Amino acid sequence: MRDVTAFQQRHQVGEGTYGSVFVYSDKVTGEIVALKRINTKAEENGFPLTAIREMKILKALNHENIVRLKEVVTSKDSGDIPKDVFMVFEYLEYDLTGIIQTKEIKIRADHIKSWSHQLLKGVQYMHINKIVHRDLKASNLLINRRGELKIADWGLARSWNPEMNRLTNRVVTLWYRPPELLLGCMKYSTKIDMWSVGCIIAEMFLREGLLKGNNESHQLDLIFGMMGHPSTADWPNIHTMCPLWKNYEPSNGNESLPRKLRDEVKTRLPTVAMPWMTPHALDMIDNMLVHNPDKRWSAAQALTAEWFFDIPMVKPASQLNMQFGVESAHEWEAKKKYQEMRARMAASGAN
Residue 329 gets which letter from DSSP? B
Contact by Cβ (8 Å): 66, 119:
no
Q: What residues are paired with 89 via a beta bridge?
A: 34, 69
Would you tell me how many other CB atoms lie within 10 Å of the CB of residue 70?
17
Would you tell me how many other CB atoms lie within 10 Å of the CB of residue 293?
20
Residue (of 255, 240, 254) closest to 184 by Cα position: 240
Q: How far apart are CA 66 and CA 57, in angstroms?
A: 11
Give the chain's end-to-end CA distance (angstroms, integer).
54
Catalytic residue selected from 3, 95, 135, 294: 135
Helices within the chain (DSSP H only): 49-60, 96-101, 109-128, 179-182, 191-206, 216-227, 238-241, 261-268, 279-288, 299-302, 331-350
DSSP-assigned states of every residue in 24-75: EEETTT--EEEEEEE-GGGSTTSS-HHHHHHHHHHHH---TTB--EEEEEEE
Half-sphere exposure (Cβ direction) of 83: Cα atoms closer than 13 Å: 9
Q: Is 135 a catalytic residue?
A: yes
Q: Is 121 annotated as a binding residue?
A: no
Q: How far apart are CA 83 and CA 74, in angstroms?
A: 7
Q: Which residues are catalytic?
A: 135
Annotated binding site: 36
Annotated binding site for ATP: 36
